[in-house]
Structure 1
Amino acid sequence: MASRSSRRSTGHAAVRRRRLPLRQLLPLTLLFAMLGMLMLRGYVHSEILADFRVRPEAATDKVPEKILDGGPVIDTRGGKATSLRVPDHRVVLTFDDGPDPKWTPRVLDILKKHHAHAVFFVTGTMASRYPDLVKRMIAEGHEVGLHTFNHPDLSYQSKARIDWELSQNQLALAGAAGIRSSLFRPPYSSSADAMDDRSWPVTEYVGSRGYLTVVNDTDSEDWRRPGVDTIVRNATPHGGKGAIVLMHDSGGDRHQTVRALDRLIPELRAEGYAFTNLTEALDAPNADTPVVGADLWKGKAWIFLVRASDDLTGVLVVGLAVIGVLVFARFGLMLLLSALHARRTRRRGFRWGPRPVTEPASVLVPAYNEAKCIENTVRSLMRSEHPIEILVIDDGSSDGTARIVEELELPNVRVIRQVNAGKPAALNRGLANARHELIVMMDGDTVFEPATVRELVQPFADSRVGAVAGNAKVGNKDTLIGAWQHIEYVMGFNLDRRMYDVLQCMPTIPGAVGAFRRSALERVGGMSDDTLAEDTDITMAIHRDGWRVVYAEKARAWTEAPESVQQLWSQRYRWSYGTMQAIWKHRRALFERGPSGRFGRVGLPLVSLFMVLAPLLAPLIDMFLVYGLLFGPTQKTIVAWFGVLAVQVVCATYAFALDRERLTPLISLPLQQILYRQLMYVVLLQSWITALTGGRLRWQKLRRKGGVSAPPNEPVPGQRVMDGRPVA
């Protein structure tokens, strides 16, 4: 966790502040763009706006007799109703529902082999997804007709929906092959004598839009998969009459159709039949005409977006698999390694070294405009059970922070004033004035328990330890946002620290409660302002210098968490961006030897995976949740989401038990996953955008209320109690 200090805003910072809202909007824009692409993919795959209802047959009172008794080509253009038949010894093979990536190429191969033409009534969804097949149909001399976009029964639909189905179908054809078609076949249609009072108004309306409606008079019934012989028999015209034969090149297994087609064409050719397009058979102009200008470019743009949505969905699915592995791997590691950590540090007789650490420590309290909090902070330190000196470094405060401390006139408390220069400079100033080898650092809004400093410095009994992370807790957890952060601190940060301690790659000493050896700090050059997460930066530097960094769970500190969404956004934005900066700064550790290389090849990958990549990909879980609830297998989606939630509940319950926290706040965990987590996603995405665009972020000051105080001393697991107080 990065610290909470600030710098004064310069003129350039003011410019950046005006730009910040736009930078905050960009992550939201990207998320909505991804959701939009998912919606497009769902629409093209008939998962959105699809209507699979099919009306039963109805009366035929309104259908003209000449249509019922006429041919399979129905022309209602110009307000007149006529029908046409195919001339004798002409066969028009028609294929519905494609193009299909597996079966359409095989059908085209058979037609090409026998030099036969056909009409393909394509749906817009399939033409959008497989435009190259539509292009091949046109190139090989076949005609293409419309079969609507989503394949609904149009007798259920409004005129607006019918227009939409036709225009979208045309858009797909324009993008796929640069054509538009005047041929139309209604979904679920049959022969002309099956026209009824529900389908006839649709036919009339479609005709008014300039289309010829093409049904069939010879149904192969290949969709039933009755066998090759039956398909050939059903598709064969009788007595030399012409026929429009209905077949399918999509919608399931079509291997029988392909085999039957390979037999049907030569057999009928031997009987004198010719296989032509519909317009060839009717001696009419080709139904497919070129599209130019804006309509052509709209079609190309549509195909591009459809392909992009499919590609993006593929990437997102891979990302979802990756995040699934990362989430469960992290949970598994946290549960296993935190249990090992607790077992090791809580066993009877556990000591960090041969003897307890009793030497005094210097406590550095950098403060910038902490007037509301600083007195509570200093007074909590005065109750320390360990000998300390307190240095309050006032970093150019304008609210009288330094004066408040001076007026307390407390022993062993010194105030150091400096011109505002930022927290790293304040800590380095304090380090230069500290009298002791052991250095404790805390924030100006944090409150220590009496035993905190004593517990924090005990690991220094081990000469290999260079830094110690304490147990930061949320003091203002009585609000909903506070409760959510409380869950995050206990479940995420502290379980993580136990895990990283066992793996010897602790990434961050929290600014709210941490301790260092002066010699370790001096060897790595002290605190740096190269990043916005100076505590992560210094922790990684100490690892690379060969020191151990450990976690002291009993060293508890209570900090004031942000109480508004804007403050939380600002804080987490800085944390996320600062962590990325620190990882980038120490990237050379990946290729070095010794302690630096060990941290680089273990710590940096783990931090990158669990603190940067996993949170960045985690929104995919919620995106697919929303998508699944609205358009997918709702029941499976809900089960999967509750499965993930159950794992989180187990981890959270275990973390709360380890920290001896009440489980009551976990009631809000499901809501935290739905609302709070989304904010963290957007913040991290904004950090990525800032990093990739080379932006910089000024220090930000959070508004404090000063209402945090340490609770009464409570024993933690492994502590003995004497006279009602926990002792070491």
Structure 2
Amino acid sequence: MEIFLVVCAGLVAYTYVGYGMLVWLLVKIRGRRPALKTDTVFAPDVTLIVPAYNELSCLPDKVANSFAQLYPAEKLHFLFVTEGSTDGSADFLRSKYGNRVAIMEGTERRGKVAAMNRAMLQVKTPLAIFTDANTILNPEAVQNLVSHFRDPKVGAVAGEKRILTNESESAAGSGEGLYWKYESFLKRLDSDLHTIVGAAGELFAVRTALYEPVETDTILDDFIISLRIAGQGYRVAYEPDAYAMERPSFSIVDEQKRKIRIAAGGFQSIVRLTYLLNIFRYGWLTFEYVSHRAMRWAVAPLCLPLIFLANAWLVVRELGIAPSGQYVWTVLFVLQCIFYVAAWVGYRLEKKNLRWKLLFVPFYFTFMNVCALAGLVRYLKGNQSGTWEKVRRAGEVERTYGL
């Protein structure tokens, strides 16, 4: 039982801390990947694709932000996908911007993935960039993403996701911000070592010729698309100076819905990307994929309750046989209890709209792993579809109520 506990604890520690330290060390030993330098101007035609289901409240800002990109205007094309929208998004775009933007509309809502597959059939440019309607890009985002495609070995490029939080933000929102800061750090390391494993749907670019239609019930389309491109032998680069900014989930309930759905999508992705587990064929890609993604979804969340139960059993045994003053497992169990009590207190305070920053880490860590287990249950039950369940973001509520 002691060995079992230590192994489980080691797996959790490796997943959340050890992997980052190992990749950092490997990058230091191997050196960072050299940038591809050239004196020629690189500005191929690009299509910016914006899935916008019932996003009328976001569209004025999104269109203005898209037009403000520092990229040759004649090279940048816009395609807004409003399929199934019932809020007048297509009419607004058509009347306001005319021929400056292309619109893919339709009365039937088939889901984001089906819409993306259809949209890619309309793309005639060599590069396509996906970005969400409720995000704002920095003006250099398109140019910074495109610059990586000078390298013919790059098949996709992921931008950075940034969560805009304020001092009074909910614990879930602040925890989400901390999570994405750490995730961005890991992506930089992954990219320097070999390739990143999974782009964020808020902002990523692909070579049009490499795009493979995705199953319409896919939940994590951005993850599947980028990993399948990596599986074809291309790198997925990371560009932190191309970033998409959005507000966090409005409440703990909204964030919980999002996390559970993403976790269910993670298990779905593991099943559909089983072939990437062949380290003899995919090498570094398999190492990064398993360590950074698969273990976070499918290993660490399962290990945590096993660690607690094994520790409790060892405490019972230790109280009966341990020499005076040598209660190692008891001390460890007490520390676990303190951590989870702190997480529970953070959750209760959050429900009452009270925040204590000291509890952000234990609360969000526990919250994230509980949602992962709930996502596993959801996946096993088959209670999911490719139609994205939109959650409220803080910015949307602020616009709605004039906050």
Check whether TM > 0.5: yes
> Are residue 700 (structure 1) and residue 386 (structure 2) matched?
no
How far did residue 325 of structure 1 move? 4.2
Query: Which among 484, 503, 507 is matched to residue 193 of structure 2?
Result: 503
Contact kept? 1:364, 1:392, Cα under 8 Å: yes
1:482 paired residue number: 173
Q: What letter matches 2:155 in structure 1?
A: G
Distance across 1 between alignment mates of 2:28 and 2:335: 27
SS at match of 2:265: helix
Residues 600/514 of structure 1: CA separation in 2 closer, same or farther (3 Å cut): closer
Contact kept? 2:5, 2:310, Cα under 8 Å: no
Distance across 2 between alignment mates of 1:708 and 1:380: 20
Q: What letter matches 1:384 in structure 2?
A: Q
Distance across 1 between alignment mates of 2:153 and 2:178: 32
SS at match of 1:609: helix
1:367 paired residue number: 52
How far did residue 467 of structure 1 move? 0.3
2:376 paired residue number: 688
In the TM superposition, 1:8-19 aligns within 5 A as none
Residues 330/670 of structure 1: CA separation in 2 closer, same or farther (3 Å cut): farther
How far did residue 411 of structure 1 move? 6.0
Unaligned stretches of 5+ residues in structure 1: 1-310, 645-666, 710-728
SS at match of 2:42: coil
Query: Which among 254, 257, 262 is matched to residue 575 of structure 1?
Result: 262
How far does the alpha carbon of each residue in 1:175-218 deviate from its partner, in whole angstroms, 9 at most, with x for none? xxxxxxxxxxxxxxxxxxxxxxxxxxxxxxxxxxxxxxxxxxxx
Contact kept? 2:250, 2:397, Cα under 8 Å: no
Q: What letter matches 2:64 in structure 1?
A: R
Distance across 1 between alignment mates of 2:305 and 2:61: 39
> Are residue 541 (structure 1) and residue 231 (structure 2) matched?
no
Contact kept? 2:45, 2:127, Cα under 8 Å: yes
Distance across 1 between alignment mates of 2:217 and 2:381: 14
Contact kept? 1:330, 1:610, Cα under 8 Å: no
Distance across 2 between alignment mates of 1:590 and 1:634: 35
> Are residue 531 (structure 1) and residue 221 (structure 2) matched?
no
Query: Which among 53, 61, 64 is matched to residue 376 of structure 1?
Result: 61
Deviates more, 1:356-365 or 1:474-483: 474-483
Q: What letter matches 2:206 in structure 1?
A: F
Residues 476/369 of structure 1: CA separation in 2 closer, same or farther (3 Å cut): farther
Residues 335/366 of structure 1: CA separation in 2 closer, same or farther (3 Å cut): same
Q: What letter matches 1:612 in structure 2?
A: A
Q: What letter matches 1:363 in structure 2?
A: L
How far did residue 413 of structure 1 move? 1.5
Distance across 1 between alignment mates of 2:36 and 2:67: 26
How far did residue 417 of structure 1 move? 0.3
How far did residue 552 of structure 1 move? 0.6
In the TM superposition, 1:182-221 aligns within 5 A as none
SS at match of 1:384: coil
How far did residue 556 of structure 1 move? 1.1
How far did residue 705 of structure 1 move? 5.5
How far did residue 408 of structure 1 move? 2.6
How far does the alpha carbon of each residue in 1:492-545 deviate from its partner, in whole angstroms, 9 at most, with x for none? x21221232133242211110000010111xxx233325211111111211111
Q: What letter matches 1:680 in structure 2?
A: M
1:415 paired residue number: 103
Distance across 2 between alignment mates of 1:610 and 1:352: 36
Instruction: Give the length in aligned residue pairs.
Output: 362
Contact kept? 1:338, 1:499, Cα under 8 Å: yes
Structure of greater relative contact order (alpha carbons < 8 Å, 6+ residues apart): 2
> Are residue 564 (structure 1) and residue 251 (structure 2) matched?
yes
Q: What letter matches 1:572 in structure 2?
A: K
How far does the alpha carbon of each residue in 1:364-412 deviate from its partner, in whole angstroms, 9 at most, with x for none? 0011111222221121111100131111000211222223323332663
Distance across 2 between alignment mates of 1:477 and 1:542: 37
> Are residue 617 (structure 1) and residue 308 (structure 2) matched?
no
2:115 paired residue number: 426
Contact kept? 2:56, 2:87, Cα under 8 Å: yes
In the TM superposition, 1:86-165 aligns within 5 A as none
Q: What letter matches 1:675 in structure 2?
A: F
SS at match of 2:299: helix
Higher fraction of helix: 2
Contact kept? 2:195, 2:285, Cα under 8 Å: no
Query: TM-score, normalized by length of structure 1?
Result: 0.45
Q: What letter matches 1:441 in structure 2?
A: F
Contact kept? 2:36, 2:151, Cα under 8 Å: no
Residues 530/640 of structure 1: CA separation in 2 closer, same or farther (3 Å cut): same
Distance across 2 between alignment mates of 1:482 and 1:633: 36
Residues 400/683 of structure 1: CA separation in 2 closer, same or farther (3 Å cut): same
Distance across 1 between alignment mates of 2:289 and 2:186: 14
Percent identity over the alignment is 24
Residues 398/450 of structure 1: CA separation in 2 closer, same or farther (3 Å cut): same
Q: What letter matches 1:497 in structure 2?
A: K
Contact kept? 1:587, 1:600, Cα under 8 Å: no
How far does the alpha carbon of each residue in 1:279-325 deviate from its partner, in whole angstroms, 9 at most, with x for none? xxxxxxxxxxxxxxxxxxxxxxxxxxxxxxxx7x8755542243234
1:391 paired residue number: 79
How far did residue 686 of structure 1 move? 1.1
Contact kept? 1:468, 1:514, Cα under 8 Å: yes
2:350 paired residue number: none
Contact kept? 1:360, 1:386, Cα under 8 Å: no
> Are residue 673 (structure 1) and residue 361 (structure 2) matched?
yes
Distance across 1 between alignment mates of 2:54 and 2:394: 12
Residues 356/552 of structure 1: CA separation in 2 closer, same or farther (3 Å cut): farther
Distance across 1 between alignment mates of 2:311 and 2:94: 56
Distance across 2 between alignment mates of 1:513 and 1:573: 22
Contact kept? 2:312, 2:333, Cα under 8 Å: no
How far did residue 625 of structure 1 move? 9.8
Contact kept? 2:220, 2:269, Cα under 8 Å: yes
How far does the alpha carbon of each residue in 1:327-363 deviate from its partner, in whole angstroms, 9 at most, with x for none? 442241354467789x847x8xx44656442123100
Q: What letter matches 2:162 in structure 1?
A: K
How far does the alpha carbon of each residue in 1:433-477 deviate from its partner, in whole angstroms, 9 at most, with x for none? 223111000111111111111111110010111100101111345
> Are residue 555 (structure 1) and residue 242 (structure 2) matched?
yes
Contact kept? 1:367, 1:394, Cα under 8 Å: yes
How far did residue 624 of structure 1 move? 9.0
Distance across 2 between alignment mates of 1:463 and 1:545: 13
Distance across 2 between alignment mates of 1:378 and 1:671: 39
Contact kept? 2:267, 2:297, Cα under 8 Å: no
SS at match of 1:365: strand
Distance across 2 between alignment mates of 1:591 and 1:485: 32
Residues 696/314 of structure 1: CA separation in 2 closer, same or farther (3 Å cut): farther
How far did residue 674 of structure 1 move? 2.1
Contact kept? 2:173, 2:251, Cα under 8 Å: no
Residues 616/456 of structure 1: CA separation in 2 closer, same or farther (3 Å cut): farther
> Are residue 436 (structure 1) and residue 125 (structure 2) matched?
yes
Residues 360/526 of structure 1: CA separation in 2 closer, same or farther (3 Å cut): same
1:115 paired residue number: none
How far did residue 635 of structure 1 move? 10
> Are residue 459 (structure 1) and residue 143 (structure 2) matched?
no
Q: What letter matches 2:234 in structure 1?
A: W
Residues 443/506 of structure 1: CA separation in 2 closer, same or farther (3 Å cut): same
Distance across 1 between alignment mates of 2:397 and 2:207: 28
